[in-house]
Structure 1
């Protein structure tokens, strides 16, 4: 008997990648150096210690600039999507993708960020990628900024701390809209806007040893990104009124460690500072009142310019996108609980949840809670644009890749998405992280694999780069074909 789907008929099933983790072609075809090119791989650093992987100093930037190789800096070679995009997109189409999320690298279009004219080779590449996506009837979902701003803007302006970067970013976005605005409906301004709080350099370009007031510069940089997001939303709607600009955060769903009022209050603050501050500004269009006390307590004074408040209010995001991997625990006495560095940021362990090999705590029910929580607060369409599990996959002697852990993870999260739909949540799409194995964002290793498609490459960049369909490839193909009705494992 055929199962009936509760997913909308036009639900956008798909997967995601990022230019800085997939493209490769470092230093070729006019691309300039990006912040992602500083990300190094070091097997001696505990893979769960993300803080050490993210620690960027002026010295490390100088060392990276002096090293033209790719071995120590794996994001420079990625998985060679630049030359293999046709094969990769065809495989995604074979799964039945309705949408393919990717980013257009700023440094491939404007190598230093300050050029007056774009690099035509970069535009030609993304034109070809869009053509391939359109060939299979998929919707492109384009992230404008995904941890890949030109490094020159870090060295010249200290990243987003300088308001001049707003104009440079708007020029970049305007170039994308002018060239591709009629071909792309769904856009995201900034990947995980709240990453300025947990992965500062990749998100904002702020380097701790280049600033006299680190927290001030971090939040000033975020303010400039808010203004930039409003301006590019305005510009998109002018060029293509049917275009949709989404805002995005890494969702840190959090629970109180106990029912003590102090823990519940801490949970509220963690939710506000980690999540709602960013979405309140980009969806509601104003700075929330609770941030006034936070700024006062932490010595932060945001510098506003005339017109900023009006821009934020008028040009809010059309939909709310988010990544969901883990949930967290809040406590007024954090020293009394175990800690993990692995949940995207340092956080308290939840004793009721299992963890992945990387220490990320798995919480499918938290996704249902998150969907309801966000929809109740904002009443705008929601889009899950990242969800998945990083794991070490093994190629068997017969060339197959069995990944039941990935199927189990995704299956349980999809079941909770169904529950949220019954709850009345307006969910328009789901792009897993990732569609294909790519270089890890956090640790820059290849061993941490998320995709439905195995890429034959090791942590040092060695391998054939051959693509292999995993068991999860066929499972997700079945899920999409049934529009989410059939989540079973054959």
Structure 2
């Protein structure tokens, strides 16, 4: 098992005692992030069509607190207030997602919904008026329900064509002002949680040995089709950049044994390699081909050519890390986990937990893991430009705690200090990291966990009119971004 002292020795030698903005390059981007279904609400306003998450959240037993995103935190009506908050806190950038079914209510691309176009134009213009750069995600899990019900959604290769039409419309409508695009957010989570374990929309698990890999394959092709379209039609005029967001929990070998090191390497190939290997090397990682065989689709030659080098930057969503040990039988169900032949562990050699625990059962505070995964991407994929597109931690919703206690989020402040230090170290190590986005601006609808978990820099009072209250972490960031983060106490 891993000895804590040995692993942390190098990390602690270079850790800034008090991370500051001066540890980052002058043009480094600091932003906050959200997604449409989690914050917008107004599910039947503005001619919006239903998404798979509307259907999923209204299905009994899917969401822990029986909640949904019908209203969420009402960003649809409060976007100006929320953008004012971003500006007040001092962030350079705002990453948000467009709801596909606000642009095309049926997903098919036959008739543009101008009310949806107007809504996002208003957001983009309001951001730019405040000097905040929009970073726009085209797909953050909320597939138009009609596409799922009529043709199987991501299971059908036709989805690539419809995604390309949707992307084209967004580039044409917003690309004069939006210069940073993300095609798809965390395709792994859609594939595994949506089509293997079934805990996310659309909740499929009946064919878990094949469907996740088909879904992933079509997402890669959809991303590449949108990238290719942008190069042909918009790049010269608009000059924007396009990336794909992958998510990765750092995998640290549980010992020096070769089987544990191999298991950790496998784990990374199944997380990051699944999506980045086809883009950088033309095919899925060898270990996935070996362990999955015919379950993994094959790229036709024309698809390989489409996919190769189809991004300007890598977006990384990272929250936590695990120790990985070889295991012939995975304790986690589903072919995705079984094929990895590994076990995820959370304890150091002496039995101490890997890091302080946040509210979610999967989330431990492990700053050194972010440095390692950034360096891994740099080394494995020829040092591409990287944006940390999500990073953060959650508190448990607590009805009985007074507001001032919920706002004093000391662990979150420690989390950000540690993880920002790790980013600064990775840059010093040579990784080309260009930006960092906090997840999330606001407490919001947290997928299957409903409103039981709070990730926001800003507390949303669900019981009293969705009033926004910045937390201690928001004020810490305000000082950090102004360059005087060492001062104690809150801003007045």
Shorter-chain TM band: 0.7 to 0.9
Q: 1:388 to 1:278 in 2, by over 3 A?
A: same
1:441 aligns with 2:447: yes
How far off is 1:184 after superposition?
A: 0.8
1:381 aligns with 2:378: no
| Aligned residue pair count | 449
1:312 aligns with 2:329: no
1:96 aligns with 2:106: no
Q: Structure 2 unaligned segments of length 5 or more: list them.
A: 1-18, 334-339, 349-353
Q: Structure 1 unaligned segments of length 5 or more: list them.
A: 46-51, 55-70, 340-344
- What is residue 317 of structure 2 aligned with on the other side? 323
- What is residue 342 of structure 1 aligned with on the other side? none
Aligned counterpart in structure 2 of residue 14 of structure 1, from 31, 36, 53: 31
Aligned counterpart in structure 2 of residue 403 of structure 1, from 406, 409, 422: 409
* Root mean square deviation of aligned Cα: 3.0
How far off is 1:76 after superposition?
A: 2.1
Aligned to 2:181, the other structure's residue is in SS state strand
For 2:156 and 2:218, the matched residues in 1 are separated by 8
Q: 1:311 to 1:454 in 2, by over 3 A?
A: same
Q: 1:383 to 1:203 in 2, by over 3 A?
A: farther
Show the 5 A alignment for 1:54-453.
72-201=66-195, 205=202, 207-209=204-206, 213-237=207-231, 238-241=233-236, 242-296=239-293, 299-300=294-295, 302=297, 304-305=299-300, 307-313=302-308, 315-333=309-327, 348-352=344-348, 353-354=354-355, 355-359=357-361, 360-378=363-381, 379-392=383-396, 396=402, 401-444=407-450, 446-453=451-458
How far off is 1:88 after superposition?
A: 0.4
How far off is 1:173 after superposition?
A: 0.6
Q: 1:118 to 1:263 in 2, by over 3 A?
A: same
- What is residue 65 of structure 1 aligned with on the other side? none
How far off is 1:118 after superposition?
A: 1.0
For 1:489 and 1:469, the matched residues in 2 are separated by 16
Q: 1:398 to 1:451 in 2, by over 3 A?
A: closer
Aligned to 2:96, the other structure's residue is in SS state strand
- The TM-score, its normalising length taken from structure 2, stands at 0.84
For 1:333 and 1:283, the matched residues in 2 are separated by 29
How far off is 1:53 after superposition?
A: 5.4
For 2:403 and 2:192, the matched residues in 1 are separated by 41
Q: 1:180 to 1:456 in 2, by over 3 A?
A: same
- The TM-score, its normalising length taken from structure 1, stands at 0.84
Show the 5 A alignment for 1:32-43.
32-40=49-57
Structure 1 residues 205-254: Cα deviation after superposition (integer angstroms, max 9, x where no partner):
57234xxx443232122111111111111222331342111111111211
How far off is 1:488 after superposition?
A: 6.4
How far off is 1:115 after superposition?
A: 4.0
Structure 1 residues 4-50: Cα deviation after superposition (integer angstroms, max 9, x where no partner):
713111111011000010000012211111112134399x98xxxxx
How far off is 1:399 after superposition?
A: 9.5
For 1:260 and 1:310, the matched residues in 2 are separated by 38
For 2:163 and 2:37, the matched residues in 1 are separated by 17
For 1:154 and 1:145, the matched residues in 2 are separated by 14
Structure 1 residues 108-143: Cα deviation after superposition (integer angstroms, max 9, x where no partner):
111111141211111110000101111111110101
